Amino acid sequence: MSTAVRGVIASALLALACGSSSGTSDAGNSCTPKVPTDDSVPGTLAAWCQVQLTNGDVAPLADDVVPFTLTTPLYSDGAIKRRTVRVPPGTSATYTDAGVLGFPDGTVFSKSFGFRDDARNTALPIHWIETRIEWKAAGAWNFISYRWNDAGTEALPLPGGEVVNLSYVDGDGATQNAHYLVPATQQCTQCHAEPGTIAPIGPKTHWLNTDYAYTSGTENQLAHWSRIGILSGAPDPASAPRLPVASDPDAGTVEQRARAYLEANCGFCHNPNGNARISGLYLWNSITDPTQLGVCKRPVAAGPGAGGRPYDIVPGHPENSVITYRIEATSPAAAMPQIGRSVVDTHGVALVNQWISEMTGTCN
């Protein structure tokens, strides 16, 4: 029996078992988004009516599904990402300077992950691996990943996750062999626990405060969200916080960009309430205590993950710093983040190393 046939059987069973929250495998090009009011998982991605693959790329399925981007995203083995948000009609998110915007019940985020065989050639098709859905119901956020079939015609829930071994050529022409992780549902919460509760990570003002090329024209995302009524209380973007594009040398100083990179790639766990709170190493952009940032801080329960290096950061010496060791590592025994990265982000590593190299002082 083919995988596709099995999938159809599974979908049919799901439809029977889960009632109205499941859907058909062919939602067409127009539909009305439906959002579970609890943690039940619709049986296909299409049933959500949030996004579909059109001409090989992710496209919103409804007019009020809004694509967005972040100034500095999490590195995920070099995956191409597409993000959307949709709040229920007539509702809006509430603005805040710090932390995640206040999204209402019924909010749905989608985030799709894919790869080109050669990242340098944008004419090549993107192989979409998964679309993750995060939705808020009864005040709580829920997660599920939908795994795309090879043909890109259907995506089905994969609550147990999967390690997808794949190979591609990156933007520098280097071949990368990734153990790409489609996370199990419970693994989502390993990172999505930043404020001490389960929540989105990216949709904060300082990451959203940048332009996006909408079909209607380029516009600042905060301004756009305010204009279409899905965000309330936001100031003029010029007076709202913004963290730089870490990869853009013109976007800020080395320190500003390295700190933005560390918050985006480490801060979701390394903060006073996150999953790595036990380490006492906090990498939010707002942290000012040098020890909390890792300067001359001994690793604690890193075991072999510290690579024999004496401190998280040794000023002037990335080659002696645990942080460098861990972001350069690819074995899950030492790699940071702990999940979701099996390929080295060479540009990110170079930025962090430059920041450490330019630090002055000694550790004794």
Partner 1 sequence: MKHLSFRLGSVLAASLLAAACGSDNNNGNVVSITTSMNESQISAAFSNAAADSTLQFAAGTYKFTNSLNLASKNNITVKGAGMGSTILDWSTQTAGADGVVQANTPGSTIKATFQDFSVQDTIGDGLKVTGAGSLHVKGVGVSWPTRATHGGYGVYPVQSKQVLVENCTVDGASDTGIYVGQSDGIVVRNNTLTNNVAGIEIENSFNADVTGNNSHDNTVGFLVFDLPNLPQVGGHNIRVYSNMFVNNNHANFGDPSGTVALVPAGTGGAVMANSKVEVFGNTFTGNTSIGFGIISCFVAFTQQQCLAAAAGYNPFPNNISVHDNTFTGNGQNPLQYNTSQTHPSYMLAALLASGFQGSNAWKDGHVSDVSYDGVLGLGQTGNANVVCAQSNGSGHFANMHFADVEGGANLGDVLTFDEPAYSCVPTGFPLPAVPVPTF
Residues that bind partner 1 (CB under 8 A): 1, 5-6, 9-10, 13-14, 17-18, 22, 38-43, 156-163, 165, 179, 181, 184-187, 189-190, 193, 196-198, 272-273, 275, 277-280, 291, 296-310, 322, 331-333, 335, 338-339, 342, 363-364
Least distance between partner 1 and beta carbon 293 (Å): 12
Least distance between partner 1 and beta carbon 263 (Å): 19
Q: How many CB atoms lie within 10 A of CB 200?
A: 19
Q: How far is Cα 343 from Cα 311, in angstroms, rounded to an integer?
A: 24
- Residue closer to partner 1 (CB basis): 223 or 363: 363
Least distance between partner 1 and beta carbon 75 (Å): 15
Q: Is 281 exposed, middle or buried (0-12, 13-18, 19+ CB in 10 A)?
A: buried
Beta bridge partners of 204: 100
- Residue closer to partner 1 (CB basis): 54 or 197: 197
Cα–Cα distances in Å, from 54 out to 128, 162, 254, 336? Answer: 12, 25, 39, 34
* Run of H or E residues at 225: helix 221-228
- Residue closer to partner 1 (CB basis): 306 or 327: 306
- Residue closer to partner 1 (CB basis): 208 or 335: 335
Least distance between partner 1 and beta carbon 236 (Å): 35
- Residue closer to partner 1 (CB basis): 217 or 303: 303
Q: Assess contact for 340 and 76: CB atoms under 8 A.
A: yes
Q: How far is Cα 37 from Cα 34, in angstroms, rounded to an integer?
A: 9
- Residue closer to partner 1 (CB basis): 230 or 306: 306
Least distance between partner 1 and beta carbon 151 (Å): 18
Least distance between partner 1 and beta carbon 166 (Å): 12
The full DSSP string for 165-217 is EEEEE-TTS-EEEEEEEE--HHHHHHHS-TTSS---SS-BHHHH-SEEEETTE
Least distance between partner 1 and beta carbon 247 (Å): 25
Least distance between partner 1 and beta carbon 125 (Å): 26
* Run of H or E residues at 80: strand 80-86
Q: Assess contact for 311 and 297: CB atoms under 8 A.
A: yes
Q: Assess contact for 183 and 201: CB atoms under 8 A.
A: no
Q: How far is Cα 25 from Cα 7, in angstroms, rounded to an integer?
A: 10
- Residue closer to partner 1 (CB basis): 1 or 151: 1
Rg (CA), the chain: 21
- Residue closer to partner 1 (CB basis): 4 or 213: 4
